[in-house]
Amino acid sequence: NAGVTQTPKFQVLKTGQSMTLQCAQDMNHEYMSWYRQDPGMGLRLIHYSVGAGITDQGEVPNGYNVSRSTTEDFPLRLLSAAPSQTSVYFCASSYSRGLTDTQYFGPGTRLTVL
Amino acid sequence: KQEVTQIPAALSVPEGENLVLNCSFTDSAIYNLQWFRQDPGKGLTSLLLIQSSQREQTSGRLNASLDKSSGRSTLYIAASQPGDSATYLCAVTPMIYNQGGKLIFGQGTELSVKP
């Protein structure tokens, strides 16, 4: 198993540009989520999904969109990038909504918005 | 609002020492508590998961305890090695989020083990 994969690993955007961060898992996990990690703020939940076709907002959803058309993929879209979205983005997945089992994290995407 | 705190923020020890990392949380209504390891520039690796009904979990040289009533967890690392150098993150899954396992993270403890 490849586990949780994320692409790209690094990205530089200009203010106002849009882009999609890709996340995929091959473990047949129902639950997937996106976090951002910032110095001094720790990791914070952006959006999550409990299954294909179902998504919901986390703690910091503004400026981001998600969709879940398949069990395997959970892309995160930045609609109009802002410098405040400069961060490291992590995708995570788990089998049982993370209530009884661990969550697996991808290697991260390091995004800089100029 | 659930808050997770980890003290100290950084810790440096000589190789071979036993050490304890601390995590505290403000609301005892949790499904579980997890300890993660994060190497520089890398993702998070799960080390131990403790369900709310459990008191401790062990994996190799690692032992994690959970005291829900006092809102505390400790991660004990025995016979530390330079390869243990990393940032250790504690996270809880609050019970109010019945739609899914949202994790609330602490800021982490950066551990350095000197040869």
Taking the CA of residue A66 as centre, how many other CA atoms within 13 Å lie in the half-sphere pointing to its CB?
Answer: 30
- Judged by CB atoms closer than 8 Å, whether chains meet at B100 and A48 is answered as yes
A4, closest residue in chain B (CA to CA): B43
Of B101, B105, B107, the CB nearest to A98: B101
Mutate to test the interface with B, among A7, A27, A54, A97 (most CBs of B within 10 A): A97
pLDDT in tens, B52-93: 999 999 999 999 999 999 999 999 999 999 999 999 999 998
Q: Does A97 touch chain B (CB under 8 A)?
A: yes
- Judged by CB atoms closer than 8 Å, whether chains meet at B100 and A56 is answered as yes
Taking the CA of residue A5 as centre, how many other CA atoms within 13 Å lie in the half-sphere pointing to its CB?
Answer: 10
Share of chain A above pLDDT 90, in %: 82
- Please tell me whether the peptide bond between B8 and the residue prior to it is cis, using omega within 30 degrees of 0: yes
A111: chain B residues, CB-CB within 8 Å? none
The H or E element containing residue A56 is strand A54-57
pLDDT in tens, A44-88: 999 999 899 999 999 899 999 999 999 999 999 999 999 999 999
B93: chain A residues, CB-CB within 8 Å? 98-99
The answer to whether residue A98 scores a pLDDT higher than 90 is no
The answer to whether residue A1 scores a pLDDT higher than 90 is no
Share of chain A above pLDDT 70, in %: 97
- What integer best gives the mean pLDDT of chain A? 93
Tell me which DSSP letter residue A111 carries.
E
A90: chain B residues, CB-CB within 8 Å? 43-44
- Judged by CB atoms closer than 8 Å, whether chains meet at B107 and A101 is answered as no
The answer to whether A48 and A103 are in contact (CB under 8 A) is no
pLDDT band at A16 (very low <50, low <70, confident <90, very high): very high
pLDDT band at B100 (very low <50, low <70, confident <90, very high): low
